[in-house]
Chains A and B, each alone.
Chain A
């Protein structure tokens, strides 16, 4: 049933339209919740379909691949769509009380839904230029969300976020131009065959352009500077969805391109990725250790965690890629959740600067517990999802005798605990410097429900993944197998005669650029 493929893209767009029309009505925000729930539902159906029937592909406008735009869902894409739906739902419930009427009138919910549509589109597309367009959809709505409200600090952060992301966009676009010039196709599955006919040296140069372009989006070392400059400034609901999803789209794009297309010179490209990953882990966690703002610590942690995912991709063994997929899923849930917790802390304790708040454990033990679950998970404590994610990646690097990288991964885990304890000690444990005892019961009942419910939901999810990792690991294994052996993907997109490279893409005349 191919209509399942465009559905998770259409629903958020339709929701955005309605949310914009009803933006002056306080009840209009429920539209956003409903839309997110429907997106999640569509994602779940898609995942079931993919798990039962293998890779799904749909040719948009009936144009056969590689001419038209193809939407493809393999296990990785479908899982990412589901996890996007989960995050979207959690954040839109949270936004019911986090986003004030003024931001709603400015169109918060519409922008949010367009962002979700862009993210889902990037996960589902099988066409390189279309991927660029989804990146832009995502980018422009994230620009809007970031500066919505127009506080001075937001404008300051916005400048850095916007300019650095635009540079990465231009690099990505140039990469597409060169790739099309050398191969004559934009379809990812077709590119898989086409790149083998091109001079590998030239391909490596193009691959590096993509690596840098996606590297900025994914916030890897040394291209991450926009992230900790920006993620602590917008509304909490916004920063949660940014932290959960945006960088992960970059990681996803990297995983897709460097398993499906750029595989001619793995020895070179993936070694670069390996050291990028190691340095990303280290710099991120060191940055976090130096910060004293709740959200800034978490922002640097995003950078550090991205390193683990890129590490999985760089190792390119089935176990490592499986670990990267597992990490991706676990990280989105945990990270979004931590940002949501920081929002509640801000509401009841009056700030995010951890030296100026405190007493959260005494006044709000429930919140403290809900912080501990994702925080320990992020650091990799045993019964939680992060433990399995880290375990698999460390095991994978030990398997191929990369002792140094395994050591770095473990040490970074330790440092993560250090900065989490810092938040715990100062924001939760020590008494509030102003003598205030922050209590959840200070919040109005409706706010309390809509703030705590999504946090508890995501925390429960973390615990479930941690206690019963078996089915999740199996899905991740399947996603990794499909990434490393893309034949199912290629057949789904191009049909069974795919192995024969169709000469010169039929009607088009090849014109070399050199």
Chain B
């Protein structure tokens, strides 16, 4: 199971890097979303993936039985997803506004803040 998720993370990162190499800012943003999902899956897998072993503590016991997944990374992932959602919503609106105002999505043409040196 871990191997499968590891390959999936690798594939997501590869696709993300491919998208982020594009000059189109929107593509870059999609790449970033994939990358962040890859990171989320990575954290998820770091807690262990144990199908059919719910992390429940038996009545009276103080620790869960051996071999269950660590539930903390799942909580971390939830936090990371929520934060990521906020950030990407912002980034998407920013890109849209930039498109409206600058009239381009090509990052090579975005030279307003860093104009080419004269002469």
Contacts and interface: CB of A to CB of B under 8 A. Distances in A.
Interface of A: 129, 132-133, 136, 139-140, 143-144, 147, 150, 152-160, 162-163, 166-167, 169-171, 173-174, 176-178, 180-181, 184, 228-230, 232-233, 290, 506-511, 513-514
B52 interface: no
A158 B72 CA distance: 34
8 contacts: A143-B90, A143-B94, A147-B94, A166-B32, A174-B39, A233-B113, A508-B70, A509-B70
A219 to B, nearest CB: 15
A507 B94 contact: no
Nearest to B3: A514
Contacts of A510: 70
Secondary structure of the B side of the interface? helix
Contact of A136 (B47, B87, B98): B87
Given A511-B47, A513-B46, A163 B72 contact: no
B98 A163 contact: no
Given A140-B87, A176-B43, A232-B113, A152 B35 contact: no
B51 interface: no
B54 interface: no
A152 B94 contact: no
B10 interface: no
A511 B91 CA distance: 36
Contacts of A154: 113
A173 B87 contact: no
A230 B112 CA distance: 11
Contacts of B28: 163
Contacts of B68: 509
Interface string B105-119: 001001111100100
Contacts of A229: 113-114
A244 B62 CA distance: 48
Given A155-B102, A170-B32, A509 B67 contact: yes
Interface of B: 2, 20, 25, 28-29, 32, 35-36, 38-40, 42-43, 45-48, 50, 62-64, 66-70, 72-73, 76, 79-80, 83, 86-87, 90-91, 94-95, 97-98, 101-102, 107, 110-114, 117
Given A139-B87, A155-B94, A181-B46, 17 more contacts: A133-B83, A143-B87, A152-B112, A155-B97, A156-B98, A159-B98, A173-B80, A176-B43, A177-B42, A177-B45, A178-B42, A181-B47, A229-B113, A507-B62, A511-B47, A511-B48, A511-B69
Secondary structure of the A side of the interface? helix
B63 A180 contact: no
Nearest to B88: A166
Given A147-B94, A507-B64, A509-B67, A159 B47 contact: no
Nearest to A135: B83
- A-B interface, 4 closest residue pairs, ranked by CB to CB distance from nearest: A511-B48, A181-B46, A177-B43, A157-B113
Contact of B113 (A163, A230, A513): A230
A117 to B, nearest CB: 15
Nearest to A176: B43
Contact of B66 (A147, A177, A180, A509): A509
A513 B45 contact: yes
B43 A155 contact: no
A129 B101 contact: no
